[in-house]
């Protein structure tokens, strides 16, 4: 093979650090280890990237995930081989579920020992299999000559629709070798699929003929706010998944938001003569496991070809980018559609009814829900939520957000990711603090990252709903297991003492009337602060929430 002439200027570790900075990465999360030190040492020496040392790889992954969601750019996490990469896997499952643009750079033992089960330190012989299970795509940088190609491919894969976390293994000896000279580094440009003209034309015709058309927007339509809002203005009603909230402003009366499973929503679906689902998985917990009847005909637009007709039979499937496809449909539509003028009023009524019913369930907590509902969107805060009753009831649907990127929650339903997600969201939002809703059970999984929040002076308000239990589990035990409350009582630290020991400001709220003042104070101080809501002092919700599966009466998780 003819070797090209190269000028050796840096190691692969140095090159990786330089590559990331050149393509615009400013923040990287991770945990240092012998197997990633050539990269992290280079990041530190080059001083172009902020490295956030997390307490664990799961937290680092959750931070990178939330950072990616809020910044709408690449989130980067660096872990080590074996246990470290495994620690990140649960959090990466969530990034995969959410389709987050995450680059997971992990490592490998020296290439000579990799995949051979030769018992090198940190070796997991089938690490690639593990990574493949939680990745959109998996890559290995086999040697220095692969460096620019593999990095470009991995970043492109993470950013291109359908977006998702990508794992890249870089063996430690490869990191240490001299890099090959490369040309200028170009930031990868995401590729988006384009729906065929004939399909776009057919969808436009269907819309023109419909009297009560509805647009169901999922997280995949987050980039199509302008187009979806214009379709709404021309006459389409809006309903969203929890991840598709605020793509069209929820201040619009014709937007049902994520109250998508209530009896009133189902009545709207019965009356509708066309639904177009854009960028949504139609998840089980938002469709009664796909048993909920949606309007007919059903049309689907998705950048992910594998999703075509997966959960519901559809008449037309457009494989295309949401913004591009909706934009081209708009060009074929009249300024105002000839639709039933009652539909927008029916939607407003359905939303008000659902919100009223939800507030009734809250009992005393409606004071906190109302305060957050106004403050979160008004202050343009990212709204990060762990899996806790307060999110399942008011957080997921009632508290409004100003922009879709502000909504961050565990789509996969895994508890314990909120503490770290709050940090990632905060670092991606220097303009407004990330407000982060936690349960005490979830907090225990991520609590070590509160130290990271303090160290990084992350602009955060943690609202910790402390009921000293796995509350939702106890409610399920009461409803389905004759109140046998096994394993669901929870010993937690005294949070005030814990916070004091790590330099985290803390305030206990024992009456709902004290919440507004505590919140005001927390958003106005620098850095993070915990507001602990003492639910044992305040008392129960008016109605117990017993989690999924959802009854026909309304939305659950």
List contacts with ligand TPP (CB under 6 A).
Answer: 387-389, 413-416, 439-442, 467, 469-473
C-beta pairs of 261-264 under 8 Å, 24+ apart in sequence:
261/286, 261/287, 261/288, 261/292, 261/550, 261/554, 261/555, 262/350, 262/353, 262/354, 262/357, 262/553, 262/554, 262/555, 263/552, 263/553, 263/554, 264/349, 264/350, 264/353, 264/354
CA angle 110, 112, 115 (to 5 degrees): 90
Distance, in Å, from the CA atom of 301 to the CA atom of 284, rounded to the nearest integer, reads 19
Give the DSSP letter string of 441-497: HHHHHHTTHHHHHHHTT--EEEEEEE-SB-HHHHHHHHHHSTT--TT-B-----HHH
Contact between 101 and 74 (Cβ < 8 Å)? yes
Q: Report, in Å, the least distance between residue 349 CB and ligand TPP.
A: 30
Q: Smallest gap, in angstroms, from Cβ of residue 389 to ligand TPP?
A: 4
Give CA–CA dist 517/151, Å, rounded: 48
Q: How far is the CB of 557 from ligand TPP (least distance, A)?
A: 9
> Computed over its alpha carbons, how large is the radius of gyration of the chain?
24
Give every CB contact of residue 459 below 8 A, 6+ residues apart in sequence: 426, 429, 430, 432, 433, 434, 526, 527, 528
Q: Which is nearer to ligand TPP, 14 or 440 (CB)?
A: 440
- Cβ 439 to ligand TPP, closest distance in Å? 2
Largest CA distance in the chain: 76
Give the shortest CB-440-to-ligand TPP separation in angstroms: 4
Distance CA 541, CA 496 (A): 24
Both structure tokens of 456? 């990084």
Strands (E), 100-256: 102-108, 137-140, 166-171, 213-217, 237-240
Q: Which is nearer to ligand TPP, 71 or 466 (CB)?
A: 466
**Which CB, 487 or 524, lies closer to ligand TPP?**
487
> Of 249 and 492, which CB lies nearer to ligand TPP in the complex structure?
492
CA 473 to chain centre: 24
User: Judged by CB, which is closer to ligand TPP: 187, or 367?
Assistant: 367
**Shortest Cβ distance from residue 256 to ligand TPP (Å)?**
25
In the bound state with ligand TPP, the residue whose beta carbon lies nearer, of 177 and 477, is: 477
Of 179 and 387, which CB lies nearer to ligand TPP in the complex structure? 387
- Min dist CB 119 to ligand TPP, Å, is 31
Q: Which of 415, 461 has the CB closer to ligand TPP?
A: 415
- CB contact set of 468 (below 8 Å; sequence gap of 6+): 440, 489, 490, 492, 535, 536
How far does Cα 266 stand from its chain's mean position?
A: 27
Q: Which position's Cβ is nearest ligand TPP? A: 439
Compute the least distance from the CB of residue 412 to ligand TPP, in Å: 8
* Least Å from the CB of residue 393 to ligand TPP: 9
Other CB atoms within a 10 A radius of the CB of residue 69 amount to: 31
Kindly state the tokens that stand for 111: 């290439």
As measured in angstroms, the least distance from the Cβ of 464 to ligand TPP is 9
- 3-class DSSP state for residue 408? strand
Question: Is the CB of 246 or the CB of 450 nearer to ligand TPP?
Answer: 450
Give min distance, CB of 541 to ligand TPP, in A. 10
Q: Which CB atom, from 193 or from 363, has the smaller least distance to ligand TPP?
A: 363
Nearest to ligand TPP of 366, 405 (CB atom) = 366
């Amino acid at each position: 093979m003819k070797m090209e002439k190269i000028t050796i200027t840096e190691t692969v570790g140095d090159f990786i650090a330089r590559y990331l900075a050149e393509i615009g990465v400013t923040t990287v999360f991770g945990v240092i280890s012998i197997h990633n030190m050539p990269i992290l040492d280079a990041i530190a020496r080059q001083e172009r990237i902020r490295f956030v040392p997390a307490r664990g790889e799961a937290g680092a992954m959750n931070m990178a995930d939330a950072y990616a969601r809020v910044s709408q750019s690449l989130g980067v996490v660096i872990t080590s081989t074996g246990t470290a990469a495994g620690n990140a896997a649960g959090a990466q499952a969530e990034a995969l579920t959410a389709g987050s643009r995450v680059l997971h750079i992990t490592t490998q033992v020296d290439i000579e020992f990799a995949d051979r089960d030769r018992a090198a330190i940190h070796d997991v012989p089938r690490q690639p299999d593990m990574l493949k299970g939680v990745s959109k795509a998996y890559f290995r940088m086999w040697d220095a000559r692969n460096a620019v190609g593999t990095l470009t491919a991995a970043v492109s894969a993470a950013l291109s629709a359908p977006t998702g976390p990508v794992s890249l293994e870089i063996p430690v000896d490869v990191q240490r070798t001299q890099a090959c000279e490369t040309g200028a580094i170009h930031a990868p440009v995401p590729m988006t699929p384009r729906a065929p003209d004939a399909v776009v034309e057919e969808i436009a015709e269907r819309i023109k003929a419909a009297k009560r058309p509805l647009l169901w927007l999922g997280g995949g339509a987050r980039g199509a706010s302008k187009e979806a809002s214009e379709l709404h203005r021309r006459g389409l009603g809006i309903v969203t998944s929890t991840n598709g909230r605020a793509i069209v402003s929820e201040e619009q009366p014709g937007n049902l938001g994520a109250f998508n499973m209530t009896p009133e929503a189902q009545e709207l679906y019965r009356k509708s003569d066309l639904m177009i689902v854009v960028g949504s998985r139609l998840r089980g917990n938002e469709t009664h496991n796909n048993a909920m009847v949606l309007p007919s005909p059903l049309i689907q637009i998705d950048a992910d070809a594998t999703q075509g007709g997966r959960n519901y039979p559809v008449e037309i499937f457009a494989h295309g980018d949401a913004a591009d496809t909706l934009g081209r449909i708009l060009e074929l539509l009249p300024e105002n559609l000839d639709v039933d003028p009652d539909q927008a009023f029916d939607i407003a009524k359905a939303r008000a009814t659902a919100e009223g019913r939800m507030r009734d369930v809250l009992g005393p907590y409606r004071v906190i829900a109302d305060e957050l509902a106004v403050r979160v969107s008004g202050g343009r805060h990212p709204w990060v939520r762990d899996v806790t009753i307060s999110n399942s009831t008011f957080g997921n649907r009632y508290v409004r957000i100003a922009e879709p990127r502000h909504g961050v929650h565990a789509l996969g339903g895994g508890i314990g990711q909120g503490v770290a997600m709050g940090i990632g969201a905060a670092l991606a939002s220097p303009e407004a603090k990330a407000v982060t809703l936690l349960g005490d059970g979830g907090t225990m999984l991520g609590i070590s990252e509160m130290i990271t929040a303090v160290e990084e002076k992350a602009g955060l308000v943690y609202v910790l709903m402390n009921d000293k239990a796995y509350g939702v589990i106890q409610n399920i035990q009461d409803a389905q297991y004759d109140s046998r409350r096994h394993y669901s009582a929870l010993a937690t630290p005294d949070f005030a003492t814990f916070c004091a020991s790590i330099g985290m400001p803390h305030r206990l709220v024992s009456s709902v009337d004290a919440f507004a003042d505590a919140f005001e104070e927390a958003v106005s101080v620098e850095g993070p602060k915990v507001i602990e809501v003492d639910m044992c002092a305040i008392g129960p919700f008016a109605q117990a929430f017993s989690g999924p599966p959802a009854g026909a009466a309304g939305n659950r998780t």
